[in-house]
Amino acid sequence: MKYKTVFWDFNGVVSHDFFYRPLQKTHPKAWDFVQSHIFGPLGNDVITKWMRADIDLKFINDYIIKQTGVDQPTLEDSLIKGGAQFAIDSRHFDLIDRLKSSGIKVGLVTDNMDVFDLYINPHYQFETLFDVVVNSFPFKMLKSEGLFDVAMKLIGTNDYDSALLIEDSPSSIGHFKSLGGNGYHYRNFEDFKIWADTNLNP
C-alpha cells in the first residue's frame, strides 16, 4: 500500500447529521430558522466565520434566541441531547482500527465549530480511534487556509505524497491534491468499501 497516512473528513463522511436536531420536533419554527439562517443559504458566511472562530457558540445561540424566541435552556438542551444522539457511521471504524494496527497513521480533519469540541468529540471519544483529531475552530483556519498542514505536523509527517484524504467535498480534495496529497471523493459507504477493499487493505 502506498498510503502511510489516511485522513477522514467528518461531516458527509463519518457523520451525516445536524446540530440542534431535537428542535425539529420540539420547536419546528426555530429548527427551520437554524437550517435556513445558520446552516443554510440565508446564513451568508456565518458558518465560515463560526468554523474559523471569528464567532462562537454564545454568539450563535444569542442570535437564534433573538430571532426565534426559543428559550436558552431549550436551545442548550437541544445541543447536548442532539450531540449525544449524533448519527455516526461506525462502519468506518473497523477499517480505521486495522489501518492503525498495521502502523498507518489515521486522522480526522474537519472544518467545524466549537460545538464539535464541546459536544461531539468528547461523547464519541474520537481521540481513542484516530491518532489525531483536527478541528478548524481551535486553529482559527479552514482546510483551505492551512489546516491540512497543521494535521500533517500533528500526525508527524510532511510527506503528502503518501497521504490520503477521504472527503465528500471536491474543493477540499482539490486543495489536498494541490499540496501533493491523494484524495478519494466520498459519496456513500458502499462504494467506498469496494474501493477501500482494493486500495486500503493493510
Task: Tell whether the model's pLDDT for residue 1 goes beyond 70.
Answer: no
pLDDT for res 178: 98
CA angle 107, 112, 118 (to 5 degrees): 90
The CB density around residue 110, as the number of other CB atoms within 10 Å, is 27
pLDDT for res 51: 98
| CATH class name, domain 5-16+88-199 | alpha beta
Identify the burial level of 3 via C-beta atoms within 10 angstroms of its C-beta, where 0-12 means exposed, 13-18 middle and 19 or more buried. middle
What's the whole-number mean pLDDT along residues 90-119? 96
Q: 152 is written with which cell numbers? A: 500533517
Digit-coded pLDDT (tens) for 22-81: 999 999 999 999 999 999 989 889 999 999 999 999 999 999 999 999 999 999 999 999
What is the C-alpha to C-alpha distance for residues 138 and 118, in angstroms, rounded to an integer?
Answer: 12
User: What is the edge-to-edge ordering of all strands in the sheet holding 163-167?
Assistant: 132-135, 105-110, 5-8, 163-167, 182-185
Residues of the chain with pLDDT > 70: what percent?
99
CA angle 198, 199, 202 (to 5 degrees): 90
Q: What are the residues whose beta carbons fall under 8 Å from the beta carbon of 192, sequence distance 6 or more? A: 166, 184, 186
Domain ranges of the chain: 5-16+88-199, 23-84
Q: Where are the alpha helices (DSSP H) in the chain?
A: 23-26, 28-33, 46-51, 57-68, 72-84, 93-101, 114-115, 121-124, 136-139, 147-155, 170-178, 189-199
Rg (CA), the chain: 18
Digit-coded pLDDT (tens) for 138-164: 999 999 999 999 999 999 999 999 999
What is the C-alpha to C-alpha distance for residues 137 and 43, in angstroms, rounded to an integer?
Answer: 18
